Amino acid sequence: MLKPTVVIGSGISGLATALLLGRSGRRVVVLEQASQPAPVIRGFHRSGHYFNSGFHYAGGFSSGGPLDRFSRHLGLSADLELVPWCEQGGDLLRIMSPLHNYQLPSGFAEVRSYLCDCFPAAAAEIETYLDEVEAEWCRFPYLDPSLDIRDYRFQIVHSQSLGERLACFSPWPDLQTLLSMHTFLYGVDPDVASHCLNARIAGSYYHSAHAVSGGGRAILDALLKQLGNYDVEIRCQSEVTGLENSGDRVTAVVLAGGERLPAAEVVATVAPQQVANWLEGTSVRPVYQKRLKGLRQTPSAYLVCSTSQAARSVLAGRNLFCCQERGLFRAAEADELTRRAFFLSAEEDRLIAIFPALYTEVADRARDRESGSAAYLRWKQELAAELLGLVAHKVPELDDLEFVDLATPLTLRRFSGNPSGALYGTAHCVGQYNPHALTRLDGFYISGQAVSAPGLLGALLSAYVTCGALLGPDLLQRELQRCL
């Protein structure tokens, strides 16, 4: 039997990579450490409620958008029921000091009109800025035939920072907040966020915004359905501990317990720090391993799950970004809880509040968590009450919040495999060279958000970038162009 291509990790990027390779005729084995595929995006049930923990909404699903093209090419569209976000204001912004609310609509024309109406003195600068964003937002590999993949990486690394680009709006600090709030969705403050990447991410939401009925579970089910048509095996509870190589080429994956799985190629879709550990003992130089380990990570988070009948109206077709002060939107993960920004997303009466956090806040509680001690449970209950109290205080419209569960950076570390529980994984920021799909070990590739961008769009894009390196970029380019 031919050696399989082994994909490590069964998140969206891993499953999309397996699907593209399976469709090319390869035999593929997907290895997942957890007991079920896609442990992050699949969501969870608590107290009879399903919480969509790993996916809330996405930009670019409307006709002509990159997610529309990717989902049609992968065969997912027929199984995804898109729920359009409120066109009049799908992204709500609340600035606390002093209190002011904004409702950013969907559609580039609508965004232009709204911002120019709110800040008429800045209209000329707004038009220029949004012209840049609209020109940039869809410039992704395989969707823009003129864009070289190598240029895509260097544009982000050497881009002007978002904070620098928005300096011209300093007379209008509320406008700066509106134009930088989407940085919360990829965990990088505007001072180091790439203006180029932010234009592509925020621009996707300006283009269109949708939820998916059934959330991340529906996307997962659609992928698994397509994978069933090809020679793809998913093996859960399969922890990878190392790689084997012969000369400069990977030859096998080593699993916990000593099992050795021969491989024609290997694609890792997990945190780069884990990849670096597996490369120890191979022919890859230590300096490359050190670079992977040293990549800047995004903050972690507290995720507070609750129910609220009021959310059915307050957050119907909307998300809410809340920050303490006007100016560049900052997550403030190192500040006291009362000053941190947070993000609210609801599906009917189920609400998730995301507060940025640092793993160091909870690292000393890891042992208590494993033992389930009374002290740990008491601390978690007290923290949940404080966080939910902040939501109730700053968003009093949600006057019937009922706590259900709390995830901490310890939870995120366990389910994502990221050592610091980073909510969005490896940061994409000015000056940082994130890993390329090709590595220094022949036949070993990297995929996942670290390679391309965060979120659903970034996860799918990384699959195309990596499979383009394996299959040749022209094949996927031609296929995607037929999906116009």
* pLDDT, tens digit, 9 for 90 and up, residues 241-293: 999 999 999 999 999 989 999 999 999 999 999 999 999 988 899 999 999 99
The band of 140, judged by pLDDT with boundaries at 50, 70 and 90, is confident
Residue appearing with tokens 């494993």: 370
How far apart CA 453 and CA 289 sit, in angstroms, is 21
* pLDDT, tens digit, 9 for 90 and up, residues 54-99: 788 999 999 878 899 999 999 999 999 999 999 889 999 999 999 9
The band of 141, judged by pLDDT with boundaries at 50, 70 and 90, is confident
Name the percent of the chain lying above pLDDT 70.
97
How far apart CA 342 and CA 333 sit, in angstroms, is 10
Cβ-in-10-Å burial (0-12, 13-18, 19+) of 49 comes to middle
* pLDDT, tens digit, 9 for 90 and up, residues 398-408: 999 999 999 99
**Helices then strands, each counted (H, E), the chain:** 17, 20
Whether residue 57 contacts residue 258, with contact meaning beta carbons closer than 8 Å, is answered with no
Mean pLDDT for the chain overall: 92
The band of 1, judged by pLDDT with boundaries at 50, 70 and 90, is low
Tokens of 338: 């009362």
Q: Is the pLDDT of residue 150 over 70?
A: no
Q: Between the CA of residue 83 and those of 56, 113, 138, 173, 450, what are the distances in Å? A: 11, 24, 21, 32, 28
How far apart CA 44 and CA 49 sit, in angstroms, is 8
Q: Is the pLDDT of residue 444 over 90?
A: yes
Mean pLDDT of 162-173: 98
How far apart CA 235 and CA 266 sit, in angstroms, is 15
Cα torsion angle, 354, 355, 358, 359, sign = negative
Mean pLDDT of 211-231: 95
Is the peptide bond between 98 and the residue preceding it cis, with omega within 30 degrees of 0? yes
Calculate the CA 151 to chain-centre distance.
22
In this structure, the dihedral spanned by the alpha carbons of residues 58, 75, 424 and 133, taken in order and rounded to 10 degrees, is -50
| The model's pTM | 0.95
How far apart CA 23 and CA 167 sit, in angstroms, is 47
240-246 vs 249-255, strand pairing mode: antiparallel
Q: Is the pLDDT of residue 151 over 70?
A: no
Long-range contacts formed by 368-376: CB under 8 A, 24+ apart = 369/410
